[in-house]
Amino acid sequence: MTSQPAAPLLSSSHLLGIEGLSPAEIIALLDLAQTYVVQGRSGDKKTGLLNGRTLINLFFEASTRTQSSFELAGKRLGADVLNMSVKTSSVSKGETLIDTATTLNAMRPDLLVVRHQDAGAAELLSRKVDCCVINAGDGAHEHPTQALLDALTIRRRLGRFEGLVVAICGDVLHSRVARSNLRLLSMMGARVRLVAPRTLLPAQADRFGVEIFTDMKTGLAGADIVMMLRLQLERMSGAFVPSVREYFRFYGLDRQKLAWAKPGALVMHPGPMNRGVEIASDIADDVEVSLISEQVEMGVAIRMAVLDALSRTFPREGRNT
Ligand code: CP
């Protein structure tokens, strides 16, 4: 068992977005998560740090990585973890998001992890409950723990953020991962580029203060990191791309396009992947260039760090009666 440093004092009792974090808080979370990477690779993965505490996962949208890693993170820290099955809950009888959350809040959880299809849902809940709320993805708004785990993955490989060129490519329009990542990486001194067809860029994308490209060749030139995004077909009400085949031809990452990036460039993808749509299988599975499995591992460590930091800094018993 590794010895844990004191948890960083976060200034907010909720993690709703990268927007609410300072660079010092991000570094502190990454440093704490690094200790959990070491612990996760050891024979003894558990601590009793959150013994007696309760974590509820409330996911209104499908998830493999985020939900399972929050569950594992909570259990490895000793918390009791409840995964609410939204499909079989009273949500199916018409109970609202707020009524669902206040009902669960009455059971006195310490941490509530929420994923919802609407931007702002986690923030709304944070005003209705007594426990710490963690945003596990709200519409196309933010997915802060994804950006933190991506940052941990990058820092472990390249040792810094300052001056790195990170090309975030694909369906930026529908991507909360892109929004959280561009905020975090810009804040930490990386040069962020968005690379996408015009139809998949948000209106006024230039307000993000990053470079915008509509073709992969110039967008990838000199990139240290190529971060591919999933084409989010489930969020598209019309045709945003002519066809999946055309999309792959112009925007899917294959060997030819990767060669436009810096030699030795590393490839990331938050998952789930559409193989052959935004990324070729041989790149996704090439451990020399692909960080995708490492991102998943870092997800558990980051979520342990976030749960640890929030519950140490804002214990529920100190905030309500
Ligand atoms: N990256 C991510 O959020 O994956 P899941 O949808 O599987 O949680």
Tell me, what amino acid is at 308? D
Residue 212 in 3-state DSSP? Answer: strand
Percent of the chain with pLDDT over 90: 85
Closest of 174, 70, 181, 60 to residue 122, by C-alpha: 60
Percent helix / strand / coil, the chain, rounded to 5: 45, 15, 40
Predicted local distance difference test score (pLDDT) of residue 237: 64
Contact at 8 Å (CB) between 283 and 267? yes
Output the CA 319–ligand 1 centroid distance in Å: 31
Predicted local distance difference test score (pLDDT) of residue 85: 85
Residue of 65, 83, 227 best suited for mutating to test ligand 1, as the one with most atoms within 8 Å of CB: 65
The segments of the chain whose pLDDT lies below 70 read: 1-8, 236-239, 316-321
* Atom 1 (ligand 1) nearest CA: 270
Output the CA 270–ligand 1 centroid distance in Å: 7
Quote the pTM value. 0.95
Tell me, what amino acid is at 39? Q
What is the number of other CB atoms lying within 10 angstroms of the CB of residue 172? 24
Residue-wise burial string across 269-291, b where 16 or more C-beta atoms lie within 10 A, e elsewhere: bbbebbeebbbbeebbeeeebbb
Contact at 8 Å (CB) between 267 and 281? no
Verify whether ligand 1 is closer than 6 Å to residue 296 (CB atom).
no
Report the distance separating Cα 51 and Cα 25, nearest Å: 24
> Phi first, then psi: what are they for 26, rounded to 5°?
-65, -45
Verify whether ligand 1 is closer than 6 Å to residue 64 (CB atom).
yes
How does the average pLDDT of the chain come out, rounded? 93
Q: Determine the atom of ligand 1 nearest the C-alpha atom of 136.
A: 3
* CA torsion, ordered 131, 147, 164, 227, to nearest 10 deg: 180
Write out 247-302 in H/E/C secondary structure: HHHHHCECHHHHCCCCCCCEEECCCCCCECCCECHHHHCCCCCECHHHHHHHHHHH
Residue of 58, 59, 64, 291 best suited for mutating to test ligand 1, as the one with most atoms within 8 Å of CB: 64
Q: Determine the atom of ligand 1 nearest the C-alpha atom of 66.
A: 8
pLDDT tens figures, 272-312: 999 999 999 999 999 999 999 999 999 999 999 999 999 88
Predicted local distance difference test score (pLDDT) of residue 321: 47
Output the CA 155–ligand 1 centroid distance in Å: 21
